[in-house]
Amino acid sequence: MENKRATGTAYEKKAAEYLKENGYDIIECNFRCRYGEIDIIAKDEKTLVFAEVKYRSSLRYGMPYEAVNRGKQRKIMLTAEYYRMKNNVSANTNCRFDVISILGNEIEHIKNAFGGWS
């Protein structure tokens, strides 16, 4: 399990670097609370972005983004809502949920991959 966590951490760092290179400001990585975890919280101009990073070395189990199912989305949205409350983020702040899907060394950034507040 430790190797999977180390691999996940390495690809989360790679995703954060990718976002920085594309003009995002990284606010926080690995935000955790009782509802779950958000890999990367960033700012894209005036939009607060909650990003989930998924990595796979091959297509054996499908595309990485396919692992962000409805249950995972719900946990991310609950965690994001808690983050907003804890950090006094205005209800008027634009927010979106992105997925950074990494297959081998290829990065696919899916903006607004899912949405709506639970």
Q: Please report which confidence band the pLDDT of residue 78 belongs to, taking 50, 70 and 90 as the band edges.
A: very high
Mean pLDDT of 14-22: 97
Are the beta carbons of 76 and 36 closer than 8 angstroms?
yes
pLDDT of residue 24: 98
Strands of 47-56's sheet, edge to edge?
A: 25-33, 36-44, 47-56, 94-103, 106-114
On the question of pLDDT at 84 being above 90, the answer is yes
Cα separation of the two ends of the chain:
31
pLDDT of residue 51: 98
Distance CA(12)–CA(70), nearest Å, equals: 21
Mean pLDDT of 87-102: 96
- CATH class of the region 2-114: alpha beta
Distance CA(85)–CA(4), nearest Å, equals: 31
pLDDT of residue 118: 41
What residue segments make up the domains of the chain, in order of their start? 2-114
The secondary structure of residue 24, as a DSSP letter, is P
Please state the pTM of the whole predicted model. 0.92
Q: Please report which confidence band the pLDDT of residue 27 belongs to, taking 50, 70 and 90 as the band edges.
A: very high
Distance CA(85)–CA(76), nearest Å, equals: 14
Please say whether the dihedral angle defined by the alpha carbons of residues 38, 17, 5 and 28, taken in this order, is positive or negative: negative
